[in-house]
Structure 1
Amino acid sequence: MSTTNTDLAALCADYWRTSIIDIHPGSIAVRGFPIQELIGRVSFPQMIWLMLRGELPGDDEASLLEAALVASVDHGPHAPSIAISRMATSCGLPLNGAMASAINALDDVHGGAGQQAVELYASIAARLDAGAPLDEAVEAGVDAFVAENGKYLPGFGHRFHPVDPRAGRLLELVDARVESGAINGRYALIARGVEALLKRRKNKPVPMNIDGVTAVIYAELGFAPELARGVFILSRAVGILAHAWEQRGRGERNKGPMPRQIDYAYTGAPERHLPDGAQPREG
């Protein structure tokens, strides 16, 4: 069966079909909006929303997304992704290579807590939809999550901060948007329910951290769990870039994960030797 040029053109047009952007000579439209109308009139958080969701957000939605992005940009050079960007730069990688190396570390363990917290909240929300009371839904959701994923509960507690300084401010903004009607506050209620459950079980506060609160924001704004991680990566990329650029200016070479003056612990066999008379291998 012969294939005409028209058939091939249709095949090529369909191969990478997209509803995101339409480009022709002299024309660029993003989700239907001419790019020149967006430039200077739309903020970067609004542009992120437009690209991912297909429509422009309202001002309250955009400002809440922006707050989450601002809060997550950096957590110091001891954070693995940031440390990787600095080490990679000192090893001679250009900025793009350092950023790529660091972003690749943002997987389930380091970088996935926000996505996992959204998934936890969604499972509790599903139990609420099925008619369970809040306390019962929270307890069942947490127990199911722990049974499947282990005792670590994403979004609560922090190994460095007794109280995460970012969380309180973000919760204030969430509560303000609930009061104004911009969001309904369902996931904020769920997250606070988890916080209360942990306090009862552990007999001490286990407050929400940055991942738990930004997960509330992403869930309230309707972002899918996987997109919550993707948007977090957009935010953390700013910190990664800043640290890589700062490291570039220091002119240091081949920095390892800790200063060379500090010994690591060797736990292998004690010094030993080949038996006398052992012959070297040939070839």
Structure 2
Amino acid sequence: MSPGRYPEPTVDGVADWWTTSVTRIAPGEVEHRGVPVQDLIGTTDLVSAMWFLVRGDQPSPGEARLLEAALVASMDHGPQAPSIAIARMAMTCGVGINNAMASAVNTLGDSHGGAGQQCVELLNDVVAGSASAGSLREAADVVLTRWRSRSPYIPGFGHRFHPRDPRRDPLLGLVAKAKAEGTVDGAHLAAALEVESLLAEGRERPIPMNIDGATAVIYAELGFEPELSRGFFVLSRSVGILAHAWEERQGGRRNKGPIPPSILPTYRAPAPTERTGDA
């Protein structure tokens, strides 16, 4: 180590290394954001406590209801979801429930679990662009063109399984109600509906918002940064992961694979010229 490159270590320097405003602990004390934990226990619901810990302020009752609705709607989508399937398979391999849950959570990437974050980014772009574009529709058109130049998929819209996601309408209905009550301003809801309208133009079958789009509206209306929407999705989906992992444990199966043992994967035999050592 070069002399003088780092200051002489001190106790205060080590303590400052982990400076945080989230939680303080001391012997016999636990405090979150300046509030003793005993003052939160029994007085604060889990969703409001999550908001408080992440954001540092308390949500209004209307804001807490919206966040709770988004979390409830995203809990699970059955074992055909890769994360759930992986949790169930992992649970039969002799690992603990924490390992099964971690294995599942680690699959929640850009393609499976990331569309909500991407949709918040898209809606933020539409809302920001509407000020200079002259209208929400023009801004949405510009943003869609830009997104389509990167991918044929528009995050938060369309579903490979549901012609119309059953979670869309109740979630958007709650946002509309919250707007009427003054809880949110509704700008991102309007942006999402404009995008949905543009995507439906010239099509026999529309491309409605899916769960990622509907919850993105909620997270954006509540002012959460895009990346936090993925974090909240992970928290929500962890409930489904836990439920499926535990159910699989009760079945007693060992080493469960992705397909029943009676069904073998399709094998494409290489042509003779592709086989190692063949002339």
When normalised by structure 2's length, the TM-score is 0.93
The higher radius of gyration belongs to 1
Give 3-state SS (helix, strand or coil) of 1:22's partner. strand
Distance 1:245 1:263 in 2: 27
Q: Which residue of 1 aligns with 2:113?
A: 111
* Correspondences of 1:165-176 after superposition (within 5 Å): 165-176=166-177
Structure 1 gap ranges (5+)? 276-283
Give 3-state SS (helix, strand or coil) of 2:201's partner. helix
Distance 1:268 1:112 in 2: 36
Q: Which residue of 1 aligns with 2:250?
A: 249
Question: How far off is 1:16 after superposition?
Answer: 0.4
Give 3-state SS (helix, strand or coil) of 1:28's partner. strand
Judged with a 3 Å threshold, the aligned counterparts in structure 2 of structure 1 residues 273 and 152 are, in CA distance, closer, same or farther, namely closer
* Correspondences of 1:195-234 after superposition (within 5 Å): 195-234=196-235
Taking only aligned residues, the RMSD between alpha carbons, in angstroms, comes to 1.8
Task: Say whether residues 1:49 and 2:51 are aligned partners.
Answer: yes
In the TM superposition, what whole-angstrom CA distance separates every residue of 1:27-58 from its partner, at most 9, and x where no partner exists? 11100111101001111110110111011111
Distance 1:258 1:61 in 2: 43
Distance 1:35 1:202 in 2: 54
Question: How far off is 1:136 after superposition?
Answer: 0.5
Distance 1:273 1:84 in 2: 34
Give 3-state SS (helix, strand or coil) of 2:30's partner. strand
* The 10-residue stretch of structure 1 (195-204 or 118-127) with the greater mean CA deviation from structure 2: 195-204
Task: Say whether residues 1:262 and 2:279 are aligned partners.
Answer: no
* Correspondences of 1:11-30 after superposition (within 5 Å): 11-30=13-32
Distance 2:131 2:12 in 1: 45
* Correspondences of 1:64-83 after superposition (within 5 Å): 64-83=66-85
How many residues end up aligned between the 2 structures?
Answer: 271
When normalised by structure 1's length, the TM-score is 0.92
Distance 2:45 2:164 in 1: 31
Structure 2 gap ranges (5+)? none
Q: Which residue of 1 aligns with 2:99?
A: 97
Question: How far off is 1:164 after superposition?
Answer: 0.6
Distance 2:17 2:132 in 1: 41
* Correspondences of 1:167-186 after superposition (within 5 Å): 167-186=168-187
- Percent sequence identity over aligned pairs: 51
Distance 1:229 1:274 in 2: 49
Question: How far off is 1:92 after superposition?
Answer: 1.3
Question: How far off is 1:143 after superposition?
Answer: 0.8
Distance 2:67 2:113 in 1: 18
Give 3-state SS (helix, strand or coil) of 1:165's partner. coil
Q: Which residue of 1 aligns with 2:189?
A: 188
Letter in 1 for 2:157: F
